[in-house]
Amino acid sequence: MSRPRNEALVFALSIGLALLLSAVPVPGTLGFFKPFWIALIALFWVIEAPEYLGLGFAFVLGITLDVLSGTLLGEHALRLLFIVFIAGRFQRRLRFYPIWQQALFIFVLLLNDRLISLSIASLSGHALPNYRYWLAPLVSTLIWPWLFLLLDSVRRRGRQA
């Protein structure tokens, strides 16, 4: 009985932590390297326990992120919707991929996310970004294996307790 409750707690904590990490101010140019924390945490749950995180929740998370970072209301929501939807479609396969292959998939997914955000930006009349814009997905991808192993071990421990 306590098993799912522990897991739900781990879920809630990880989401809260991801929101916090996205809100932590990063000095100057380092901001360009800021990983898309919410997407990474969301991807973990979509792959490992999809019952926790559906499209509705992704939408709410996105709106929250929009308010936190002062972007157009709905921008992060749309981006997260696509990430969660696509990952959900490949969930069964992703789950049994080795970690490096997962990371590769996530890299492509985040590049696609950059394209979406680029089209939103160009539609709302912003200037086009420079090369640094494409670095963030790379950072996120490099973080993925460690994040995955960490969350996985915490989640397992939560289940055993």
Residues that bind other proteins (CB under 8 A): 16, 19-20, 23-29, 31-32, 54-56, 59, 62-64, 67-75, 77-78, 81-82, 85, 88-89, 120-121, 124-127, 129-130, 132-133
Q: Which is nearer to other proteins, 68 or 154 (CB)?
A: 68
Q: Which is nearer to other proteins, 93 or 157 (CB)?
A: 93
- In the complex, minimum distance from the CB of residue 23 to other proteins, in angstroms, rounded to a whole number: 4
CA-to-CA dists, residue 18 to 39, 52, 130, 155, angstroms: 9, 16, 26, 16
Return the amino acid letter for 139: V
- In the complex, minimum distance from the CB of residue 108 to other proteins, in angstroms, rounded to a whole number: 19
Find out whether 131 and 114 touch, Cβ atoms under 8 Å. no
Is 123 exposed, middle or buried, given 0-12, 13-18 or 19+ CB atoms closer than 10 A? Answer: exposed
Q: Which is nearer to other proteins, 59 or 107 (CB)?
A: 59
Return the amino acid letter for 93: R
41 alpha carbon, distance to own chain's centre: 5
Q: Which is nearer to other proteins, 28 or 98 (CB)?
A: 28
